[in-house]
Amino acid sequence: QVQLVQSGAEVKKPGASVKVSCKASGYTFTNYFIHWVRQAPGQGPEWMGVINPSRGSTSYAEKFQGRVTMTRDTSTSTLYMEVSGLRPEDAAVYYCARGPTITSRPWDAGDYWGQGTLVTVSS
Amino acid sequence: IQMTQSPSSLSASVGDRVTITCRASQTLSTYLNWYQYKSGKAPKLLIYAASSLQSGVPSRFSGSGSGTDFTLTIRSLQPEDCATYYCQQSYTTHGWTFGQGTKVEI
């Protein structure tokens, strides 16, 4: 069965970086887009970007350009999302979500999601 | 694209019919999806392309609408349906946008 298993909770100081992992299993890793979404307390989900695991190509939300990096390791079927220059407002639960096949437009629905990674930013 | 959901919360009884609406600031055709969020669990896709039921989702969930106005209906509310529901547009090439959510309580 399709599974996306994310890394555990992180506590970081302002200005630091955090790298969240998402290990995929149960399907052909390079065949599906992966999106990253975050949800801050009391707010709706916020899309951060998408990666094509086959090519490694990415598209980021304008808000996160220059501060977020999405990568993948095809040997371990693992995706990574790194946020640098953390601010208190970056405190949120971060999710990875499987998008459509890479032969489709990347914007269709996310059908499987990770369990979320809580990132706390505090001095 | 701005997504506006209503109501922001609701309370209903087991067996009730529940309707959640989502309005987009511009036309989406049918590029509208619905998700169920429960605390500590992976979000779950319920409805995609406005009205298609995701595999494994109970048939009491249904979606309708096109253009700018969409509806998620739970035909007979069950205790396990307590959650927050979000609409999401997948129309633009600038990424997903979500509504602010509707919290459903029994």
Cα gap A70→B62, rounded to integer Å: 34
Of all residues in chain A, the one with the smallest CA distance to B43 is A113
Q: What's at B8, amino acid-wise?
A: S
Which among A111, A117, A118 is the top mutation candidate for probing chain B, defined by the most B β-carbons within 10 Å of its own β-carbon?
A: A111
pLDDT tens track for A50-78: 999 999 999 999 999 999 999 999 999 99
Closest listed residue to residue A38, CA positions, set A96, A123, A100: A96
What average pLDDT does range A71-92 have in this prediction? 97
Closest listed residue to residue A96, CA positions, set A41, A28, A1, A19: A19
pLDDT tens track for A12-52: 999 999 999 999 999 999 999 999 999 999 999 999 999 99
Cα gap A86→B56, rounded to integer Å: 38
pLDDT band at B99 (very low <50, low <70, confident <90, very high): very high
Q: Is it the case that residue B93 has pLDDT exceeding 90?
A: no
Q: B45: which chain A residues are within 8 Å (Cβ-Cβ)?
A: 109-113
Residue B11 gets the label, from left (phi > 0), alpha (psi -120 to 50) or beta, of beta
pLDDT band at B53 (very low <50, low <70, confident <90, very high): very high
* β-pair partners for B33: B88
Q: What pLDDT, on a 0 to 100 scale, did the predictor assign at position B59?
A: 97
Any B CB within 8 A of A80 CB = no
Of the listed ranges A3-7, A43-47, A66-70, B90-94, the least confidently predicted one is B90-94
